[in-house]
Amino acid sequence: MILKQKGTYDIFGDEAKKRQYINEILDAICQKYNYSKIETPVFESSELFHRSVGETTDMVQKETYDFKDRGDRNLTLRPEGTASIVRWFIENKLYGNLSDPVKVYYNMKMYRYERPQSGRNREFSQWGIELFGSDSELADAEIISLSYNAYRLMGLDNICVKLNTLGDTESRENYKKALKDYLKPYINELCEDCQERFEKNPLRILDCKVDCDNDILKNIPKISDFLNETSLTRFNKLKELLDLMDIKYIVDDKLVRGLDYYTHMVYEIVLDDSYALGGGGRYNNLVESLGGPSVPAVGFAMGYDRTMAMLEDKNINIPINNDIDVYLLSVSSDEKETSAYLAQNLRLNGFIVETDLLDRSLKSQFKSVDRFNSKFLIVLNDDDLAKNEVVIKDNKTKEEEKININDIIDYLDMHI
RNA sequence: GCGGAAUUGGUGAAGUGGUUAACACGCCGGAUUGUGGCUCCGGUAUGCGUGGGUUCGAUUCCCACAUUUCGCCCCA
């Protein structure tokens, strides 16, 4: 037997319906904020992700699905959405007309070679939003607002924004320098990973799980002390906006996030104060570093599957309707042709119809009626059909009557 | 990449080193029911994750691998 690959999953039945319902909520809210939907290819040039996500990140170093195609091209299954969207933005020269910001959202499969565990798979979905062409904290606030409200509309109430700023390039470089100066004497006391991060990406030491209880990290310099005037004012303005919009947030000055491309505002949306359901931030240098002009941008990505899992966990009701309108029963195989014809006719008139495709006994067909929870059932038998009649029965009230075959649609319209 | 737990039919599962792998649900057929939902009868795994090994003999013991699941790293 051939099985599905590790860390992949099939979506079908109620799960598929739930996702469809959630997708409709997400589509609807994006429409309200006037974001248009985008889909990008599953695979891209490897270089795209290596350059955007960051060569030194774990995601690129050990989690990407890299392969060569038959033309010897180096390709990678996308591990996240932003890089592809930025590539699209540059490739289509959308920077040429930014009289209004470009706002898009996506809902796509992503791929990372990881060990599967709760809320994490190798193939997984992210819903994300991106905004190009505004450097204003108003754009930051809009992105946060959209993502925050998306969760609330799905029914997740106990959420909160964890917020931080990495400042502009100048502030961040000053901070990095201060960090390294501070950590240098202690470097041998840090964990192995952090010793490596010290050179490559010192900010990442801040959210190291191994060293978090370490006294060295408790007295570590704070980014907030290194923000220059402009970085500080825009961060304060953003917080004012969030207050105004009644968005719950807490500032966490250890929040730096895993990808290299962030500048200024970064945030996560957490459930029950700790479980991260998504994250995002501003990335003002990414468009330029991928070969476009300097265009400010900000975005967010939601871990779709873990969000679905949380909806399940919190027993949040997602309406699923599997009921059908009519089941056509045939007393014997003689009525099957009429059944097929009638089923098509009813379906074309908008009804959800099932028939027996297995030529089973009448009793079995009745059992199917119950399994499908059909609102009505119609019994076809030759004697009645000779007079153009059928028996139609309301499966709830158990009332039945004999009607003309041409009156079925009218009858159903009146009763459903 | 590292660690823990699990792996018996369509489903939930019981079970033992040795003839036909319990039970329940489901499903199919039949009896009865004015055309079902109750009841009764019958049927429903050539098989106990895969591959090795130990043994006269393994689903049951050992090893490896795979998959599932929960953690770590990481990410969201």
- Strand B–CB A214 distance below 7 A: no
How many Å from the N-terminal Cα to the C-terminal Cα in chain A? 45
Measure, in angstroms, how far nucleotide B63 C1' is from residue A57 CA. 38
* Cα gap A168→A166, rounded to integer Å: 7
- Strand B–CB A414 distance below 7 A: no
Q: Strand B nucleotides below 7 A of a protein CB?
A: 1-3, 27-30, 32-33, 35-37, 66-76
Using the CA of A274, give the nucleotide whose C1' is nearest.
B76
Using the CA of A365, give the nucleotide whose C1' is nearest.
B36
- Strand B–CB A58 distance below 7 A: yes
Residue closest to B36 C1′ by Cα: A366
Measure, in angstroms, how far nucleotide B67 C1' is from residue A293 CA. 48
Q: pLDDT by residue (tens digit) across A400-414?
A: 889 999 999 999 999
Q: What is the pLDDT of residue A238?
A: 96
Q: pLDDT by residue (tens digit) across A331-387?
A: 888 888 899 999 999 999 999 999 988 888 898 899 889 888 899 999 998 888 989
User: Using an 8 Å Cβ cutoff, are A40 and A156 in contact?
Assistant: no
Measure, in angstroms, how far nucleotide B73 C1' is from residue A104 CA. 33
Tokens encoding A92 = 């289509």
Provide residues 300-319 of A with CB closer than 7 Å to any strand B atom: 301-303, 306
- Strand B–CB A200 distance below 7 A: no
3-state secondary structure A184-211: HHHHHHCCHHHHHHHHHCHHHHHHCCCC
User: Using an 8 Å Cβ cutoff, are A91 and A290 in contact?
Assistant: no
Q: Which residues contact A352 (CB under 8 A, 6 or more apart)?
A: A323, A324, A325, A326
Q: What is the pLDDT of residue A341?
A: 92
Domains of chain A in start order, with CATH, are 13-168+228-313 (3.30.930.10), 326-415 (3.40.50.800)
ipTM of model over 0.85: no
Q: What is the pLDDT of residue A272?
A: 87
Q: Which of A347, A352, A344 is nearest to A326 (CA)?
A: A352
* Cα gap A397→A184, rounded to integer Å: 80
Using the CA of A269, give the nucleotide whose C1' is nearest.
B76
- Strand B–CB A116 distance below 7 A: yes
Provide residues 334-373 of A with CB closer than 7 Å to any strand B atom: 360-364, 366-371
Measure, in angstroms, how far nucleotide B58 C1' is from residue A4 CA. 30
Which of the residues in chain A have pLDDT under 50? none
- Strand B–CB A61 distance below 7 A: no
Q: What is the pLDDT of residue A122?
A: 93
3-state secondary structure chain A: CCCCCCCCCCCCHHHHHHHHHHHHHHHHHHHHCCCEECCCCCEEEHHHHHHHHCCCCHHHHHCCEEEECCCCCEEEECCCCHHHHHHHHHHCCHHHCCCCCEEEEEEEEEECCCCCECCECCEEEEEEEEEECCCCHHHHHHHHHHHHHHHHHHCCCCEEEEEEECCCHHHHHHHHHHHHHHHHHHHHHCCHHHHHHHHHCHHHHHHCCCCCCCHHHHCCCCHHHHCCHHHHHHHHHHHHHHHHCCCCEEECCCCCCCCCCCEEEEEEEEECCCEEEEEEEECCCHHHHCCCCCCCEEEEEEEHHHHHHHHHHCCCCCCCCCCCCEEEEECCHHHHHHHHHHHHHHHHCCCCEEECCCCCCHHHHHHHHHHHCCCEEEEECHHHHHCCEEEEEECCCCCEEEEEHHHHHHHHHHHC
Task: Please state whether beta strands A326-330 and A102-111 pair in parallel, antiparallel, or not at all (unpaired).
Answer: unpaired
Measure, in angstroms, how far nucleotide B12 C1' is from residue A228 CA. 64
State the pTM of this model.
0.89
Provide residues 246-285 of A with CB closer than 7 Å to any strand B atom: 257-259, 268, 275-279
Q: Which residues contact A346 (CB under 8 A, 6 or more apart)?
A: A325, A326, A353, A408, A409, A412
Q: Give Cα A357 to chain centroid, integer Å.
A: 38
Query: Between the CA of residue A171 and those of A80, A166, A201, what are the distances in Å?
Result: 27, 8, 15
